Chains A and B, each alone.
Chain A
Amino acid sequence: MATTQTQTLTPSMKRERRANQRRYAFYLALIVIGLVAPFFAYPVFLMKVLCFALFACAFNLLLGYAGLLSFGHAAFLATGGYVTGYLLSSYPAITPELGILVGTGAAVLLGLAFGALAIRRQGIYFAMVTLALAQMVFFFFVQAPFTGGEDGLHGVPRGHLFGFISLRNNLAMYYFVFVIFLIGFAIVQRAVHSPYGQVLKAIRENEPRAVSLGYNVDAYKLLAFVLSAGLAGLAGSTKTVVFQLASLTDAHWHMSGEVILMTLLGGVGTLFGPVVGAGLVVSLQHMLAQSPLGTWVGPILGVIFVICVLSFRSGIVGEAMKMYRKNFK
């Protein structure tokens, strides 16, 4: 086909193309960093960061782009973790990727049920409803026969990926987690930059107007909730395989608070904010746990919370982007 269409690009199109090129170069650089990271840092620590980063990205999809503050995301993390943990410990024939898939599916179903209930209220009521529902899940996991109650599930086997790659090796495990994180991140990135993401933002900014434009607001919100719950479940499932452990800590409301802090600290409504926030919070906990201040983690996180809300609401990535825009554009 001889299409002699020599398109002349307008300056704005050129700018956009350059911006896209820069963005892809940035992504590529980050992927390279992710690939070499385990040779410079302890892989288990990196895996923890990646799991929480994915968890925070999932949460941010809901708060940052749909404007819905969920105070119950621990429920999805824990559901993914417990289902995967139970499957892998009870049925040795199940491969880890299948276990993670089923755990994620369970979180999706739970997200569908909770989402359908929670989106009937808005604002602070939404936060309270999600918190109460998550507390119900917490009590369920305390009492249910398959969760090991207060002890949790220990010694979940990592097994063999696709049946033949042993995940006992931390390096193999790391690359598996890294791929899962990239898939999750790509889903969020895709959702945010799609027409769907634009409608979500419109709903966040002015819901009545979105309704009057003819959008089925509830369906959009529910899909965002389910996506977010599923990705949180994926993070929880993966975390269980990495640490071979599923426990009540993941279901506690403190966990729901922690993911809010990660997102807030890194930057609500920015793609990389939750990743940065998760990295910082996990590192902080790691450092404090080894210092004499180990028991002060809770109050210290509380102080960071208060400071973020009072005077650092855009978060690290948000502030950095503001500075970049002011000085380079």
Chain B
Amino acid sequence: MTMIFGVPLAVFMGQLLLGLINGAFYALLSLGLAVIFGLLKIVNFAHGAMYMLGAFATLLGMRYLGINFWAALVLAPLFVGLLGMLVERFLLRRIGHLDHLYGLLLTFGLALIFEGTLVNFFGVSGARYPTPEALQGGFQTGFMFLPKYRAFVLVAAIAVCLVTWYIIERTRLGAYLRAGTENPALMQAFGVNVPLLVTLTYGFGVALAAFAGVLAAPLYPVSPTMGSNLLIVVFAVVVIGGMGSILGAVLTGLGMGLIEGLTKVYYPEAANTVIFLVMILVLMLRPAGLFGKEA
């Protein structure tokens, strides 16, 4: 059997794939955070809760409305996106003129409400969502078994990241968005409806989180606390990459997933903490983050 530094190739590749899939989730979530941060200048602490709501919408939609996975892939982000737009319109907008730390605190309160409410109805243990039929089974590639669903998650996540990048960097709407990030007051003066743009942006950002949640539903147990633990890691990823660029967020997310996967192979005790250690290293060597622009 082929060995890589004393580890069988199949195990090595398996962990690498797991790491890459985790990385895809980090990428989707930090992408949403970066999009929201760009225009609203707040860190959305409710992002983990939105991811969790996406997964729950999928689970409950299947259980009570008979929605299948493919429909959920569209409907759950739509539902959570609308919820996010309401949150922005009626809560976040009221504190838009204040120190941005208040936005962080407000969304933290929202996260507590969403999470705690669902804990009361569903407990903390969580439920499983079956893998959709079309994606069961897998491919036998010479050196390892590649489950179809995991391959799908990877492709779907990266595709969504690329589409987001295209919209923001190459379309007129994206140009408005970037201009709004630079100077909202001037945009408003040019006749662009900036408040609407902000609402849509927040909705879009949390819809990305919900999309990640739908993808996660068949992989991880769906539980009310699934988002908050993930979010803290994503925060570390965001600190490492900086929120300056879209591609930076995506690359950092995937890269950190890979590093985590490798750590699981060679030193499993540190798998939980390796991303935080990378964060410390980055803070010491390049405090602005790998792709950060601020001084």
Which residue numbers of A lie inside 8 Å of B, CB to CB? 69, 117-118, 120-121, 123-125, 127-129, 131-133, 135-136, 139-140, 143, 253, 257, 260, 264, 295-306, 308-310, 313
Contact = CB atoms under 8 A, between A and B. Distances in A.
Contacts of B110: 302, 306
Given A296-B116, A299-B116, A305 B279 contact: no
Interface of B: 37, 42-43, 91, 94-95, 98, 100-102, 104-106, 108-113, 115-117, 119-120, 228, 232-233, 235-236, 238-239, 269, 272-273, 276-277, 279-280, 283-284, 287
A127 B110 CA distance: 17
Contacts of B120: 295-296, 299
A124 B120 CA distance: 31
A124 B283 contact: no
A69 B104 CA distance: 10
Contacts of A125: 239
Contacts of A302: 109-113, 116
B236 A257 contact: no
Contacts of A124: 37, 42-43, 100-101, 104
B272 A128 contact: no
A293 B294 CA distance: 46
Contact of A123 (B100, B279, B283): B100
B109 A129 contact: no
Closest 9 CB pairs of A and B: A298-B116, A305-B109, A302-B112, A302-B113, A299-B116, A132-B236, A120-B287, A306-B109, A136-B276
Given A300-B116, A301-B112, A308-B109, 11 more contacts: A121-B283, A121-B287, A128-B43, A128-B236, A135-B233, A253-B232, A297-B116, A299-B112, A301-B109, A302-B113, A304-B109
Nearest to B123: A295
Contact of B235 (A117, A123, A131, A295): A131
B269 A305 contact: no
29 contacts: A117-B283, A120-B283, A121-B287, A124-B101, A128-B235, A129-B283, A131-B232, A132-B239, A132-B276, A132-B279, A133-B276, A135-B233, A135-B276, A139-B272, A143-B269, A257-B108, A257-B112, A260-B108, A297-B116, A299-B112, A301-B112, A302-B111, A302-B113, A303-B113, A305-B112, A306-B110, A308-B109, A309-B95, A309-B106
A15 B37 CA distance: 48
Given A125-B239, A139-B273, A295-B120, A132 B106 contact: no
A313 B102 contact: yes
A235 B239 CA distance: 30
A318 to B, nearest CB: 14
Given A129-B283, A131-B232, A131-B235, A123 B105 contact: no
Contacts of A264: 105
A295 B276 contact: no
A127 B112 contact: no
Contacts of A133: 276, 280
A120 B282 CA distance: 11
A245 to B, nearest CB: 22
Contacts of A140: 273
Contact of A303 (B43, B109, B280, B287): B109
Contact of A306 (B106, B233, B239, B273): B106
Contact of A135 (B91, B117, B232): B232
B39 to A, nearest CB: 14
Contacts of B117: 299
Contacts of B277: 136
B96 to A, nearest CB: 12
Contacts of B269: 143
A117 B236 contact: no
A129 B242 CA distance: 12
A301 B236 CA distance: 26
Nearest to A143: B269
A300 B235 CA distance: 25
Contacts of B94: 310
Contact of A260 (B37, B105, B287): B105
A118 B109 CA distance: 23
B238 A128 contact: yes
A328 B211 CA distance: 56
Nearest to A128: B235
A305 B46 CA distance: 13
A309 B113 contact: no
A308 B108 CA distance: 12
Nearest to B229: A135
